Structure 1
Amino acid sequence: MRLLVTRPQPQAADWVARLSATGFEAAALPLLRTVASEEPAAPAAREAVARCDGVVFVSPAAVTHFFEAARGVWPWAAGRWAAAPGPGTARCLAAAGVPAQCIVQPAADADQFDSEALWQQLRLHVRPGAAVVIVRGDGGRDWLAQALAAAGAQVRFVQAYRRMPPAPTPEERVVLDEALREPASHLWLFSSAEAIGHLESIAPGADWSAALALATHPRIEARARQLGCSRVWTSRPSFDAVVAAARAVAGTP
């Protein structure tokens, strides 16, 4: 069975490499693109981060695009925390040089890696009057920002990137065609409800009733079923959990 990684690049390539190392055949078929914004490079944004108590990075893309553009926030202040909603974002923060003791993330055994799970840990670090910067793409959920504000924090947003529809390469088109032709031998790994919506535009009129899908959140599962997938499994979004769930679907040990 071939696993189809639908995350944006460069996350997709990283997941393909890690999945291949576990013995799976995997291919990247990004259903979202991220394009860098100029805002993190602006003096006002750099100053806001340099002076704040903590920064929330909503995704690996937020980390990648922010640190590619931002200057003047190094070395990372020992008293400034960096929050990540899941292990993928935390790994990116560590790779960017943020000290491990500064990274706040959900508990390793959390049912989900999302804003609600992050808040259970983050609320211990937020005091009334704290200055918090949320680094994100264009739009997104405001739940965490509202929770921070309710706790007395002063919240500012920095847009690090824009989300764009996919632009499949010829090689990715071949992968898509093979998945549509042989649905039983492909397992879609869905990590974004928005990304699933793009399948309808790049494969108009496709029959998804026989497709196999693994979703990393109940909202994503619901969107996959709305697409037409009748066989959808759910998994915690950690890499190990996805691997275990994929092996169960594939019937391998």
Structure 2
Amino acid sequence: MSKLNILITRPEPENTLSCERATEQGFHGVSLPMLEIVPISEANKVAAIRSQVFNIDEFQYVIFVSKNAARAAAEWLDDCWPMLPVNTHWIGIGKGTTETLRAENIPAITNPGHTTEALLEWLKPVKMRHQKVLIVRGEGGRPELGEQLEKRGAHVQYLSLYERKKPVYHAQTFALLPDIHLIWATSGESLINLNSYIEQFKPSFKSLLLLTPSERVNTLAKTMGWHNAICANGADDASLITATELHTGQQNDRD
């Protein structure tokens, strides 16, 4: 059986790693990031970040929304805190984010599930009242988590460590792609960027199987006309590979 070509749209460095993982499992990962992660570099913003990180021990909960947030925060924490504050709960949204934190020696825990909504289910309202919560993210991230925690009585602040930008591609990029059989879109924003390029340069891709990380993103995909969108119930490689095998009938030996 010929290999499935999977178009993988994560930001780097995850995209290269996901392509390698897909190839290890018997598929062929084709890299086309639909987000660029750019560290914040403006002097005034960097100074504000440093001040927030130095005061991170004021927070009972620090929540990281992504691997990118975890990696960026780990560098700041390493610079500002030779020993981490001991009375802080470090929480990663999703298994991948939490594993990234632990690899950086940040003793993070996570909730069952992989989404903001699952985290809100897990964080009991009574425990959040009057708690100080810091949400580590990129600029302009989804506001839902903070809004819902504030409704529960928490005091929420944000630590924005990077920007997300839309990569620049041209028609030639899509013309040179191999035949694509399946697409992984791992966030709402990357899906929006992908959709804009597909509608412009490769509208036939709209008929392909599209795997999404959550019901929220899956609903968004279907409103955009991706009628073969399926929720993989996770943005991590293992969830996407399992869904790929399930919905294509190609079962491969796991490591």
2:133 partner SS: strand
For 1:84 and 1:125, the matched residues in 2 are separated by 20
| 2:215 aligned partner | 218
Contact in 2 for aligned 1:49/1:73 (Cα 8 Å): no
1:192 to 2:187 alignment = yes
1:141-156 equivalences in 2 (<5 Å)? 141-156=142-157
Deviations 1:184-242 (A, max 9, x none): xx210011122122124444153234322111212222333344333222211143322
Distance 1:177 1:251, change over 3 A: farther
TM-score, scaled to structure 2: 0.82
Match of 2:101 among 93, 98, 101: 93
* Equivalent position amino acid for 2:95 in 1: P
1:54 to 2:57 alignment = no
Contact in 1 for aligned 2:115/2:214 (Cα 8 Å): no
1:65-104 equivalences in 2 (<5 Å)? 65-70=72-77, 71-99=79-107, 103-104=108-109
For 2:126 and 2:237, the matched residues in 1 are separated by 27
For 1:229 and 1:155, the matched residues in 2 are separated by 36
Q: More deviation in 25-34 or 226-235?
A: 226-235
What RMSD, in angstroms, separates the aligned Cα atoms of the two structures?
Answer: 2.6
Match of 1:229 among 211, 226, 229: 226
Distance 1:169 1:52, change over 3 A: farther
Contact in 2 for aligned 1:37/1:160 (Cα 8 Å): yes
Instruction: Note the residue ranges of structure 1 that are not aligned, 5 or more in a row.
Output: none
1:124-203 equivalences in 2 (<5 Å)? 126-168=127-169, 173=173, 176-177=174-175, 179=177, 182-183=179-180, 186-203=181-198
Distance 1:36 1:126, change over 3 A: farther
Match of 1:21 among 20, 24, 46: 24
TM-score, scaled to structure 1: 0.83
Equivalent residues, number: 240
Match of 2:111 among 95, 106, 113: 106
For 2:128 and 2:160, the matched residues in 1 are separated by 24
Deviation at 1:64, TM superposition (A): 1.8
Contact in 1 for aligned 2:213/2:231 (Cα 8 Å): yes
Deviation at 1:92, TM superposition (A): 1.2
Q: Percent identity at matched positions?
A: 24
Deviation at 1:168, TM superposition (A): 4.8
Contact in 2 for aligned 1:40/1:159 (Cα 8 Å): no
Instruction: Note the residue ranges of structure 2 that are not aligned, 5 or more in a row.
Output: none
